[in-house]
Amino acid sequence: MFKTRAPFTKNDFVQNISVSRETLKNLSRYSNLVKQWQEQINLVGPSTLTDIWCRHMLDSAQLSNFIDEKSAKIVDLGSGAGFPGLVLSIMGFSDVVLIESNKMKCRFLNEVICETNCTAVVYNGRIEDYKNEGDFDYIIARALAPLDRLIKLSLPLNRGESRCLFLKGRNYEQELTQAEKKWSMDVQIHKSLSFTLTFSAEKEFHGVVLEIDKLRPKGN
């Protein structure tokens, strides 16, 4: 079952992800803003707020292990509270676009950007309406939609050599099976660092990072 562990803190975070003191300060500002804004708008699941450094910060920051360069062009689909794209931007990834349709959440994202002096850009609109098609090295998403739907949303933004990094939970195998009926792709499955720290080694369920490239509709 679940591990018995002390609350996961920002000090635990830096034991798993290497960041500068300034970056850690900015991530702490971000964490505090999430808690402040949560009273006005539902940014994250209320039950996860007390474990923000593991469930949200670490879960997002682990994607940095799969991105080759800090200058890579990254788009975060349905960014919501900014996980994972805003975390990566605060960590120094210089070209991150956050696509979010909810105006209040966009206001929140822009406030965090201002308070942390990061370079992320917010697009307030639907993913389908974003016009800079095929211009990204990495397409990322977390808790947005089933994999088949995610792939369909990401395809216009995929320049052919783009890599998708999708954070997935307990249903990832079923979602992958369904998606592979329609899509041809190379998939690597990486055990999620945040879930590895949350669940016991004996428990079968682990969240994952799906790393996908060479994506195309079947039959093409």
CA distance 101 to 124: 5
3 state DSSP class of 77: strand
Q: How far is CA 198 from the centre of its chain?
A: 18
**pLDDT tens-digit series, residues 70-87:** 999 999 999 999 999 999
CA–CA gap between residue 184 and residue 214 (Å, rounded):
8
Distances (CA, A) of 66 to 89, 115, 187: 15, 27, 13
Question: Is the predicted pLDDT of residue 155 greater than 50, yes or no?
Answer: yes
183-191: strand order across its sheet: 121-124, 95-100, 73-77, 136-142, 158-168, 208-217, 183-191
Lowest mean pLDDT among 18-22, 93-97, 167-171: 167-171
Q: What's the mean per-residue pLDDT of the chain?
A: 90
User: What residue ranges define each of the domains in the chain, with the CATH number in brackets?
Assistant: 10-217 (3.40.50.150)
Write out pLDDT tens, residues 16-47: 999 999 999 999 999 999 999 999 999 999 98
Q: Please tell me the pTM assigned to this model.
A: 0.92
